[in-house]
Amino acid sequence: MKILKLSSRGAMALVLAASLTIPAWSQTTSSAYAIKGGKVFTLAGPAIENGTVIIRDGKIAAVGANIAIPSDAQVIDATGLEVYPGMFDPITQIGLNEVSAVNATVDVSELGDYNPELVAATAVNPASAHIPVTRANGITSVIAVPGSTSLDLQSGGLIAGQASAFNLAGWTMDEMQINRSVAMVINWPSIQTATFDFASFSVKEKPYADVKKEYDKSVNTLSDWLDRARHYAQAKEKGSPTLYERDLKLEALVPVVERKLPVLVIADQERDIRNAVEFCTKQNLKMILGSGAEAWKVKDLLKDKKIPLVLAPTNRLPEQEDTPYDKPYTEPSELFAAGIPFAFSSFGTAFSRRLPQYAGTAVAYGLPHDEALKAVMLNAAQIFGLADQLGSLEPGKLANIIVTNGDPLELQTQVRYLFIKGQLTSTDNKHRDLYEQYRKRPQPAH
Amino acid sequence: MKLRERRRLVPPVLLAVCAVTLIGLVCTARGEGGEPRYFAVKNARIVPVSGPVIENGTVVIAKGLIQVVGTDVAIPPEAWVIDGKGLTVYPGLIDAGTNLGLAQDDDASKKRGAGPAASGPEDRPATTPWRVAADELKTDDKRIESWRNAGFTTALTVPDGGIFPGQAAVIDLAGERPGDYVVRPRASVPLSFKPVGGFFGFPDSLMGTIAYVRQVLDDTVWYAQAEPIYQANPTKTERLPYDRTEFILSRALQNNELVLLPANNSIQIVRGLRLASEWKIRAVLYGGQQGYEVAAALAASKIPVLVNLKWPERAKDSDPEAEQTLRELRFRDRAPGTPAALAKAGVKFALSSGGIAEPKDIFKSVKRATDAGLTQDAALRAMTLDAADILGLGDRLGSIAPGKIANLVVTDGDIFNEKTKVKHVFVDGRWFVVHEETPPEKPGEKKPADDDGAAAARSNHVAGVGR
């Protein structure tokens, strides 16, 4: 009971302590597993008591109540445990940002305002210490989003680059990658009169007219880029190669204007969201809204235009001084009631591991529990067009599976087994190392 | 007198040039020549503020002072008599906080405020108490005349920029030379708690700024004690290091100068009261716009307030769609109720134009205060006698009584009625006739004293000057 005495740090310690029971990185050569005896939440139907999941060659082979276990399968006894799809955190900087304060470890954004040719996957560091920490908390795949930081969404330029989806296990990006390019990231230019003045180190108000002018200029430039991309696509398709020069930026935008690649537009304030939706509608782009702190003010619009949302963490301050204190907590249930598809996300790196708690908070404030589970497991996969591979326990999908001792949205729940691409994966991580290190510190003599 | 003699020798041609080139103030002084400096306004309604209203009264001005006021008054034969029938005479209004006559160069004051990055209180960041407003007075500030034409005769003009920006002066709004304007050259020491250090300098926080002020005041007190000890025993005591700030401030505090503490919202006001008692200074709070929330505490402290009439409002160039917080809306709604709340609680207060650019907007602001419950009598008192009392000049300014400085405003009606027009203004017994805005130089409109053409040189508001 020593652990419980840690009280204030107890929550973390419990999670860490839990991982002590997990076997180290499996060295088995077998590619077949059978998880049996647990309660299986497929997210594709009702939960299956005493269900079995068969994994083969990295994929889910079968799910059900009475399924024969193949003879070559390594059997995982999940009696008394619960089986879920691994969680999916769709807006992170995992692999792009190791220690924010150390510049050399930060590769989130590039200089310049228009960088559509950048692909996050090329920069992701597979050896990031954040990856094992995150997966130990049940998150099996993420999207690394360039140009987004949790502090200042404007910092990465207007067109920040392409977001890449990958699994949180592997030695190389090729091994980890799910899809190199799942969305073109646009940091919507917000009309902000309050700007930070570094000379006086304080917030200064700029005249609205000036700020509006800057904003109009940004939007016009954005519009220009898309028009040029359309022209480029046309020339490339029909014109002779001698008549156009290859332009990687425009080439990267072609799938965007052809609606093959969605735009992930980061916007928070009501006006910004409205403007972004209007722009994307006019430009005929497939839009995903990111962050959306004031999405609750534009529910009808989002519903009407069928725009899904990747929601900023619920554990945040309300947007305006007079916004109800619990609006970030109740927003998810409002969005659900309005019929807007949404997923939770951490918008972070070190705190990607909090993803289930962000959803748990929303459950406490009215979001149905099964919807919250979908919003951390299935919805993001659907929003980013990856639902054929991720998000539920169905045959044919990637075997990203977590086996827990309870509700994964609860802080104290422990991940007992973790599969990524069908591989039983270690939950060893930096947090546990540190826990062990300090647990073994010399004790004062009594 | 030398000046005046010299000017008599100026040939008329040069005077005409002077008139045309708008060197107004040099020319206006000429009227102060040989004629007697006696004036009388008779048959007027007189509002002395210090006593009941006198109907059909007469006020006599002699050599810059009010000689006598009443109903049965002998008018000296040398006096220029103004028939006050239908007119009302008030004491000249006092603007208890402005920068009239001081350079309005924002960049310059910012620079003064910033200075080179300081690393601690010993570098005396943004501290220039030796900047005396009275010595920097620019009498060509156009606002001086527009303030005067609106009925203001006196102002506390306050330098800005920095934590100790300088020393404020009480000025009258007319004179021949800048020095003539000055009623009290070192009237008060204004303070600002705005951190000036930026990212790299001290102090860059409110906490540091207040600690710094505390340090400077402590150093000053020490200096004030050490200086006489050293002077009495120069051979037995180590020489006192000279510090310009301590040297100047110790004299200012020994002279009992007011210390103006910034305090606009209720938290700042309560803080100001605490600092005032801690620092043992003659404190006056300025700003005071959220005084409605802490009127009782202000009353108990007996510390007066210079209420800024530039009521909070939404910035004109602000984002039209930006969310308005309840806090801001409430403050904007209630701030004009502050003077009424202070009057009710018994707090002594004066009104200051703060950053208001046009005198007509000052009266609009006063109207908002009276609409919010301040009686017009109380408003007038706050703009005359109470302001004078707070500034320590109640013995010579602020009311119509024998012996007081002849600062008067003569109107054709209630001074707070927006239709009322100011007809005459007396500043230190100098007479200004205020005309309505009509095109200048209409033939036949010239006053006898203006036949040298000087009147054409002045703005179209004013004809007769400085008799």
Domain ranges in chain A are 23-86+391-427, 89-390
Considering only the top CATH level, what class is A89-390? alpha beta
Rg (CA), chain A: 23
Max mean pLDDT among A18-27, A95-104, B392-401, B432-441 falls in B392-401
Chain mean position to CA A371: 17
Segment B171-181 mean pLDDT: 94
Per residue in B234-292, pLDDT (tens digit) is: 999 889 999 999 999 999 999 999 999 999 999 999 999 999 999 989 999 999 999 99
Question: Minimal Cα distance from A199: which residue of B?
Answer: B198
- Beta pairing partners, B205: none
- Residues A56-69, mean pLDDT to the nearest whole number: 95
Tell me if the domain spanning B94-390 has CATH number 3.20.20.140. yes
pLDDT value, residue A155: 59
Contacts of B317 in chain A (CB under 8 A): 207-209
Q: Specify the pLDDT at position A15.
A: 45
| CATH no. of B2-92+403-465 | 2.30.40.10
Quick one: pLDDT at residue B438? 54
Contact (CB, 8 A) for B28 and B39:
no
For residue B396, pLDDT over 50 is answered with yes
Strands, DSSP E only, in A232-280?
A: 263-267
pLDDT, average across residues A49-55 = 97
Q: How confident is the model at residue A443 (pLDDT cuts 50, 70, 90)?
A: confident
Measure the CA–CA gap between B359 and B128, rounded to whole angstroms.
Answer: 30
Closest chain A residue to B317, measured at CA: A207
Superfamily of domain A23-86+391-427 in the CATH hierarchy: Urease, subunit C, domain 1 (2.30.40.10)
Lowest mean pLDDT among A133-147, A306-320, B424-438: B424-438
Q: Please, which residues bridge with residue B59 across strands? A: B41, B69
Question: Per-domain residue ranges for chain B?
Answer: 2-92+403-465, 94-390
**Which of the four pLDDT bands, split at 50, 70 and 90, describes residue A415?**
very high
SS3 A357: helix
CA A318 to chain centre: 21
pLDDT in the model for residue A111: 83
For residue B18, pLDDT over 80 is answered with no
Average pLDDT estimate for A46-72: 96
Contact yes or no for A198 and B199 at CB 8 A: yes
pLDDT (average), residues B96-120: 74
| Residue B88, pLDDT score | 98
Measured CA to CA, the distance from residue B345 to residue B8 in angstroms comes to 56
Name, in order, each residue with C-beta under 8 angstroms of B295's C-beta and a sequence gap of 6 or more.
B338, B341, B342, B344, B345, B347
pTM: 0.81
Q: What integer pLDDT is reported at residue B458 of this predicted model?
A: 39
Which residue in A192, A200, A275 has the most chain B C-beta atoms within 10 A of its own C-beta, making it the best mutation to test that interface?
A200
Quote the minimal CA–CA distance from B125 to chain A in Å: 14
The mean per-residue pLDDT over the stretch B407-418 comes to 96
Cβ of B198 and A199 within 8 Å? Answer: yes
Residues of chain A positioned with their CB less than 8 A from the CB of B325:
320-322
**In the predicted structure, residue B294 carries a pLDDT above the cut 80:** yes
B295 contacts B335 by C-beta, under 8 angstroms: no
- pLDDT digits over A323-372, tens only? 999 999 999 999 999 999 999 999 999 999 999 999 999 999 999 999 99
- Beta strands B65-70 and A415-420 are unpaired
- Residues A297-313: b if buried by 16+ CB within 10 A, e if exposed: bbbebbeeeebbbbbbb
Binned at pLDDT 50, 70 and 90, residue B21 comes out as very low
Q: Band the pLDDT of B195: cuts 50, 70, 90.
A: confident
Query: Poorest-confidence range of A22-26, A312-316, B221-225?
Result: A22-26
**Integer angstrom CA distances of residue B327 from A270, A322, B80, B288, B371:** 21, 9, 56, 16, 22
Q: What is the pLDDT of residue B114?
A: 55
| A198/chain B closest Cα distance in angstroms | 7
CB distance A193–B199 less than 8 Å? no
Q: What is the mean pLDDT of residues A267-294?
A: 96
pLDDT at res. B28: 39
Instruction: Look at A170 and B466; give whichever has higher pLDDT.
Output: A170
Q: For residue A23, what pLDDT is reported? A: 45
pLDDT higher than 90, residue A381: yes
**Residue of chain A minimizing CA distance to B319:** A208
pLDDT for res A149: 54
Between A258 and B317, the more confident residue is A258
Continuous H helices in A312-354: 327-337
Q: What is the DSSP letter of A377?
A: H
Q: A401-405, B13-17, B313-317: which has the highest mean pLDDT?
A: A401-405
Beta bridge partners of A161: A185
Burial group, residue A66, by CB count within 10 angstroms (0-12, 13-18, 19+): exposed
From B403, B412, B408, B448, select the one nearest B426 (Cα to Cα).
B408
Average pLDDT over chain B reads 86
